Amino acid sequence: MTAHSTLDGVTQARDTARARRNRELGKSVALHALLIPLALLFVAPLYLMVVFSTHPDSAIFSPAPPLAFGGAFVENFRQLQADTNFVRTLANSTVISVLYTIFSMLLTSMAGFAFAKYAFRGRNLLFGIILATLTIPSFVTIIPQFILVARDLHLSNTYWAVILPTLANTIGIFYMRQAFQTVPDDLLHAARIDGASEWRTFWQIALPVVRPALAALAILLFLASWNDYLWPLIVLTQKDSYTMPVALGTLVGLTRVSWGALMVGTTIATLPFLALFLALQRHFVAGIAGGAVKD
């Protein structure tokens, strides 16, 4: 091989490397050109929701609708409060979602722990039955649940009417069982040898180990409860017992509705979760994905 041809080869290699870099740059530009408009489309409804919450209806309906923030948020909030007793529904939603999250986490983690860490008679049968109902649409149960809660237990318009039926959370038990399976048996045995009761072994040893999974589950449960619409709509019939989605839902269908006020409501319903989502994005993603990881 002559020196000349070697040099040629190097130039050639440099050229193809540059060509590849150019090609990758081109692809990268194309990718961004595709994704940026799409991303804007995804954020636009949220942005407009927040912007419209700060404008009076006259501005929202004007020929040139506002795209920047205005100063009517407080006024819109007053209108919303007058229309729906919004503060009360906010309190109802908060109490219901907090209670639901706490109870549901307690129930599903206890059961998940038993299914993951004990060999007991009937375990596989019970877990099989619970899993089998996972694909049954909740629609099937809504009528008997209503009869049970409203007619037999006389719980209509109470917090428990909303909380109790939704506590039978099958995804949660599946998720917590998976989480507890990662806790080493030796750790639990060590606690038992030290004289800890089964409850203490669960509460003080196993539960702290699965804290990240619990955090993710808590966010998902809280969100699900906070945003739930159909069930509260069915069991809550008095204005003062409404949760926030039910109250907002009553406004949407009306012919004369203050859209600025309604957008205040949807914004308040959304913003805390946007913040929570941003702060805990990793847990949140892990939580959603956790339900999907099956191998």
Partner 1 sequence: MTTLPTPPRARRRFQAAPYLFVLPYLLIFASFWAWPIVSSFLLSFKDSRLGAAAPWSVANWSRLAGDEFFRTALKNTFVILIIQVPSMLLMATGLAVALNSRMLRARGLFRFAFFAPLVVGTVAYSAVFRLLFNTDFGMVNRALGGLGLPPVDWLNQPGPAMAVIILALLWRWTGYNAIILLAGLQGIREELYEAASIDGATPWEQFWKITVPMLRPTLLFCLVLSLIGTLQLFTEPALITNSGPGNATMTLGTYLYQQGFRSFNFGYASTIAYTVAAIAAVVSLVQLRLFGRDT
Question: Residue 259: which residues within 8 A CB-CB, separation 6 or more?
Answer: 52, 57, 60, 61
Instruction: Mark 208-247 as b/e (b = at least 16 C-beta within 10 Å).
Output: ebbeebbbbbbbbbbbbbbebeebbebbbeeeebbbbbbb
120 binds partner 1 (CB under 8 A): yes
Contact stretch for partner 1 (CB under 8 A) within 12-20, 70-78, 80-88, 241-249: 241-249
What amino acid is encoded at 219 in this protein? Answer: I
222 binds partner 1 (CB under 8 A): no
- 133-152: contacts with partner 1 (CB under 8 A): 133, 135-148
Residues 274 and 267: their CA atoms lie apart, in Å, by 10
Question: Residue 230: which residues within 8 A CB-CB, separation 6 or more?
Answer: 142
Nearer to partner 1, 11 or 28 (CB): 28
Interface pick for partner 1 out of 81, 85, 94, 270 (rule CB under 8 A): 270
- 154-183: contacts with partner 1 (CB under 8 A): 164-165, 167-168, 170, 173
Contact stretch for partner 1 (CB under 8 A) within 12-20, 78-86, 94-102, 255-263: 255-263
Residues 145 and 161: their CA atoms lie apart, in Å, by 10
Residue 165: closest CA among 82, 100, 110, 118 = 100
105 binds partner 1 (CB under 8 A): no
Q: Considering the complex, what minimum distance in angstroms separates the CB of residue 187 from partner 1?
A: 17
Interface pick for partner 1 out of 77, 86, 115, 175 (rule CB under 8 A): 115
241 binds partner 1 (CB under 8 A): no
Q: Considering the complex, what minimum distance in angstroms separates the CB of residue 184 from partner 1?
A: 18
- 17-76: contacts with partner 1 (CB under 8 A): 24, 27-28, 31-32, 34-35, 38-40, 42-43, 45-46, 48-49, 52, 60-62, 65
292 binds partner 1 (CB under 8 A): yes
Question: Residue 80: which residues within 8 A CB-CB, separation 6 or more?
Answer: 86, 258, 261, 262, 264, 265
